[in-house]
Every structure is written in C-alpha cells, then in structure tokens.
Amino acid sequence: MTFAPVGWKTSSRNDALPRRLTSACLILILGSLAVASCGGAVTTPSDDSGAQLDGLVDEYIALRSQRTNDWSTEALRERGTPDFSAERFAARVQPQRDLLARVEAVDPEELTLPEQTDRQVMIALLESNIYDAERQRAWETQPLRYVPVRQISGLFEAISSAAAGTGGEGATAESDSDRAAVLLSAIPAALEQGRSNLGRPPERTTREAIYQTVAMVEVVRNGLPALSALSDEAATAGAEALAALESYLDFLEADLLPRSDGSWAIGREHYDYTLKHRWLMEEDADDIIAIGREVFERTVAEAQEVAERIAPGKHWVEVYEELKKDHPTADGLKRAYQEQMDAAKAFVIEQKILTLPAGEEVITVDTPPAQRRSSPFGTFDSVGPEDDDLQGRLVLTPIEEGLTPEQHEARLSAHHSAWVPIIAVHEAYPGHHSHALKMYENPRRLRHYVNEAIFSEGWGLFTEQLMFEEGFLQGDDVKLTQLRNRLWRAARVILDASLHTGQMTFDEAVDFLVEEIRFDRVAAELEVGMYTDRPTYFLGYLIGMVKIEQMREEWIAKYGEPEEPRELYDALLTIGALPPTLVRAELLAR
C-alpha cells in the first residue's frame, strides 16, 4: 500500500519470501457468485460437507503457494528453471478449473454461514484468477516476470548479513552458497525464455523492467566478491547470471522497447467484471467514478474549512505545504514513528477499541540497502499466517547522505509531524497490523490467507477517521493531513476507473494529481504508473472505507451502540479481509 507521496507500501509475510524483504502486498483476486445465501437462514450443517470444504480450502492454499514460488529454492531444485511457456501457463489454469468445479459441487445448504462464506470466496478467487490469466497473457506482456528481483535482492542481503555476523540463526555460509548456486544458475535460461516469449508489452511495463534489471545488474556485480568467498560453484553461477542479465538488458533496450506499443488498460468489460465478480459489488465503473467525485468535492470543502482555521485566506494546499516544514530530524525519524505507534497502541488498549493478543508488537527497522532505490520512503511488513511471532515492522528508508539540502528537506518533509501519527494509526494500531492479528483468530483457515484490498485498505483508511472520533488524533494540522490523504484516495478512485475504461489518458491523470492535489509531476507520474500496473487495487482505500462505514451504521441500527468499541471492531476484523458484502453478512448475523 502506498501511503506517502510515492514509495510507501504495505506487505504481508504471506508468501514464501524472506520476511524482511517483502515489498508489496500479495493481493488475492476474488471473483464471482451471487451472495443471496449469505443473508438467509443457516441450515443445519452437514459434517461431511463441511469437512469436504475444509479439504478444498487446503488444496486452494497449496495451489496458491505453488503459483507464487516459481523461484523458491525447492522449486528450482525440482525443475531447474521456471517454465514460462504459454503451455505452462495454460497448464497452471487447469488445476484451478478442476478445483473450482469441486468447490461449486459442495451444497451450500449443508454448510454453516462461515462455511458458505468460504465457499463463495473460493469460487470468487478461482473464477477471477482464471478470467485474468486468460486475458493477461503474462508470458507475452510482462518482461519483468523473467527477472527474480526479490529473490536476487534477498539472496545478496542474506549473504551480506551473514558476512557481517547479523544474519541470525540459520544464516550459514553453506546454506547461502547452496541457495546462490541454485538461484543464479536458473537465471540465464529464464531470461532466454523471456527473449523468445515477449511480444508487444506496454511501453511503461518495458521501461519498468529496464529500471529493475539495471538495479539487479548492479546488485549481482557488486556481490560477486561475496560469492567468490562462498564457493567456486556460487561464483561461477553469479558470473553467468550477471552476463545473462546484461544481455537481457540490451534486449530490453534495443529490441523490446521499440516495439512496446501494447495497452496497459484492461478495458470496461474486464473492469466491471472485476467489480462484480471479484468484489461482489453492484456498482460498475461509472458508479465508482461518481462516488470518487462526490467524496473528492466534499473533502476539498472540508480541507478548506480546516485551512481557514489555521491560516485565514490561504488555499488549503498552501497551508498543508507550510505545515510539512515541521518534521523530525533524520536521526530522529525512527524514534518519532515508534513513539507514535506505542502511544496509539496504549490508546487502543485503554479505550478498549480492540482486543490485542499478548506478545504482539510493532518495531521500526531500516529498509535493506538493496531495496532503498525502489522504496525511498518505507514499507510496512505485516504479520503473516505462517509466522511464528506477532511482530509487525515499520520499515523506514534512512535519509541517505549525499543529498542536496533541497533533496534532504524534501525527503524529511514527507515524514512531517502531522503525518507520523496518522501512519502509526493506519499501519499499526488499530490499522493493518491489528487487523492481521484479528484475522488469524478466525478458526476458518482460508481467512488467514485472503487479504482483499477493498476491505484491508478500506480498514486502514477508516481507522484514520475512527481515531479522530475516539480522540487519539487531534489538532487542525493532523486533521488537514488526514483530509489530504482522503482526497488523494478519492482521486485514486476517479483516475483508476477512468484510465482503465478509456475515459482518461495517462497524461491527463498526471495533470489531475498535479493540479488538484499539487503532486510533484515526477511523483504524479510514478503514482499513475501504479494504477496502470494494478487496476482496481487502489479503489480499495476509499470504496472499502465507505463500505465499512455503512456496515457500522447497520450494526448500530440493529444492535445499538456498543458499550465498548471492541464489541463491534473485534467482531468485524475477526471475519477477515473479504469482499465487504460477505463481511457484512457475517457481521450482522452475529
């Protein structure tokens, strides 16, 4: 999740990557099925049907793991090199088709309400995965798919940590040598597949692949001495991988880029399919744009009202830019965030907003050097379902040396004093970290792995308003910052849906951010680039927040104001990060 001008992301340790090196949420794609059964009476469950469904959930989780671990050491030992052929992609879809048929065959009338929900989510996930795979043709359009960026970064970070004696338990020269040899040996053949498979991808996709490949060339080149110290096999594999990456970079620049004229827009039909079948929404793209515009206009008015209280007569953007001058020092950056997260945690506990498990915590750490170029501000590393601890990490990119005074100030102003407490709330308490902890309390295993943006990101944005209502967030400077963030999220709704349905060009979207929210143009281009890469994802913040607000109103109308906030929010978050329609059905049934 991006939550600074550019570069902030939220990740979850849900995949088989090194826990400190994940840099983006793995978003599971949800698909279709009407939800009429959710709101109806729950029939007497059948133990046989429930057990059958549980087995299918386990199969789905295993299948998902196989899809995301092409570059794992175990997979590479088994296959040698990932297979990126069209035949392999088609073969991958078939197990999903088979599993979908078996999930649909389970009679929902013989399931409890939570089991019915799981069945619907399973159908949604599988249907949407199949639909997307058939249309994306990733082997032809995604040149970066052939470069294991995370795995390369993680490998050399682990080697560096082990050499420095900071790698922790299990970080041995022998294990690093083996992993290096296995991973690096697979790269040349994978890149050769890319040269053969790629057709006419979007220009932006190719340029991003060039950018990332340049970075990986530097990582491997700089890491060759460390590989030589491990073993001859690792050193040889590293040299061959470096040569292959350099050759692939030449191919990207000289061959692929000139013919990269494909469209990144998924089109109205695909967009509306995603809203209806993945998120089970009644709204289509035009409805979504209308919601975004209504919230945008209302938020502009609210922001101007707050700005008038701070500096009468000035535009809200001028006031916001002025308050950004109040920020921590570079040396005090981690401390500032940690203090606010600790304070937010204490407040959540004292005011009984959520029930938190014993032993959980959030700490601040530095972004690994290999990731700082692609993450100039930071990430949030959330607890994953297979982790053996309850620790979240706010991963902050240090303000590096060598910046000009203007660059140094600009980087620090992104962490201004009114921003820090909002991030503490959004990411940690009662935001994403707290939500992850509550999800894992649900006995339904599927809920531990499904993390739909329309609920999870919606909850993060919702908590910013919630903590104003409860009294933790205070002051007009913080309120203006919160409204600016909401305005930004409303813009995302307008731009994302407009871009992918042909109602706005890339440059028009950039101009909107520059003119309406006063983004720096370079930052605006990076922001819009994310919308082109991840269609519909960024709707989740605002649309999810609106849906959660509606759920809260309905719950209070049905059950009355809770004596303690956690009576409502514990129940809400424990359901999981599912499409809001399904969350609502379970919440109101309680």
Residues of the chain with pLDDT > 90, as a percent, come to 71
For residue 103 the two structure tokens come to 């999930």
For residue 453 the two structure tokens come to 């943006």
Per-residue pLDDT, averaged over 48-66, amounts to: 91
Band of the pLDDT at 137, cuts 50, 70, 90?
confident
Separation of alpha carbons 321 and 352, rounded Å? 35
Per-residue pLDDT, averaged over 321-350, amounts to: 96
pLDDT, greater one: 85 or 289 = 289
Q: Residue 23 pLDDT more than 50? A: no
**Sign of CA pseudo-dihedral 285, 290, 293, 296:** negative
CATH of 31-136, one of 1.25.40, 1.20.58, 3.40.50, 1.10.10: 1.20.58
Residue 552 CA to its chain's centroid (Å):
25
Between the alpha carbon of residue 288 and those of residues 264, 491, 506, the distances in Å are 20, 11, 19
Is residue 9 within a helix (H) or strand (E), and if so which, with residue range?
strand 8-12
Band of the pLDDT at 12, cuts 50, 70, 90?
low
Per-residue pLDDT, averaged over 403-426, amounts to: 93
Per-residue pLDDT, averaged over 440-450, amounts to: 95
Round the CA-based radius of gyration of the chain to a whole number and report it. Answer: 24
What integer pLDDT is reported at residue 354 of this predicted model? 98
Nearest CA to 153 among 67, 218, 82, 106?
218
Q: Residue 482 pLDDT more than 80? A: yes
Per-residue pLDDT, averaged over 440-469, amounts to: 96
pLDDT, greater one: 539 or 373 = 539
Band of the pLDDT at 325, cuts 50, 70, 90?
very high
Q: Residue 14 pLDDT more than 80? A: no
Residues of the chain with pLDDT > 70, as a percent, come to 89
For residue 204 the two structure tokens come to 């932006």
Q: What is the pLDDT of residues 69-83, one digit of tens each?
A: 678 888 888 888 889
Q: What is the pLDDT of residues 353-369, one digit of tens each?
A: 999 999 999 999 998 77
Strand ranges of the sheet holding 378-382, from the earlier edge strand across to the other edge: 8-12, 378-382, 391-396, 361-366
Q: Residue 160 pLDDT more than 70? A: yes
What integer pLDDT is reported at residue 26 of this predicted model? 25
Sequence-distant (6+) residues with CB within 8 A of 147 are 187, 190, 191, 194, 209, 212, 213, 216, 245, 248
Round the average pLDDT of the chain to a whole number and report it.
88
- What are the domain boundaries of the chain? 31-136, 143-259, 279-589
Is residue 211 within a helix (H) or strand (E), and if so which, with residue range?
helix 203-230
What integer pLDDT is reported at residue 27 of this predicted model? 24
What integer pLDDT is reported at residue 199 of this predicted model? 95
Between the alpha carbon of residue 132 and those of residues 271, 272, 277, 282, 503, the distances in Å are 11, 13, 11, 20, 22
Number of C-beta neighbours around residue 43 at 10 A: 15
b/e 2-19 (16+ beta carbons within 10 angstroms → b): bbbbbbbbbbbbbbebeb
Q: What is the pLDDT of residues 176-210, one digit of tens each?
A: 888 899 999 999 999 999 999 999 999 989 999 99
E strand intervals along 276-425? 361-366, 378-382, 391-396
Q: Residue 6 pLDDT more than 80? A: no
Sequence-distant (6+) residues with CB within 8 A of 501 are 265, 267, 268, 271, 285
Separation of alpha carbons 65 and 95, rounded Å? 13
81: number of CA atoms within 13 Å, CB side?
A: 17
Separation of alpha carbons 393 and 371, rounded Å? 15
Q: What is the pTM of this model?
A: 0.83
Q: What is the pLDDT of residues 234-254, one digit of tens each?
A: 999 999 999 999 999 999 999
What integer pLDDT is reported at residue 10 of this predicted model? 55
pLDDT, greater one: 492 or 32 = 492
Q: What is the pLDDT of residues 87-111, one digit of tens each?
A: 888 888 899 999 999 999 999 999 9
For residue 354, count CB atoms less than 10 angstroms from its CB and return exposed for 0-12, middle for 13-18, buried for 19 or more.
Answer: buried
Band of the pLDDT at 370, cuts 50, 70, 90?
low
Between the alpha carbon of residue 491 and those of residues 266, 495, 517, 586, the distances in Å are 19, 6, 9, 31
CB-based contact 100:130 (threshold 8 Å): yes
Per-residue pLDDT, averaged over 274-291, amounts to: 94
Per-residue pLDDT, averaged over 106-128, amounts to: 95
What integer pLDDT is reported at residue 164 of this predicted model? 64
Separation of alpha carbons 351 and 96, rounded Å? 45
What integer pLDDT is reported at residue 136 of this predicted model? 82
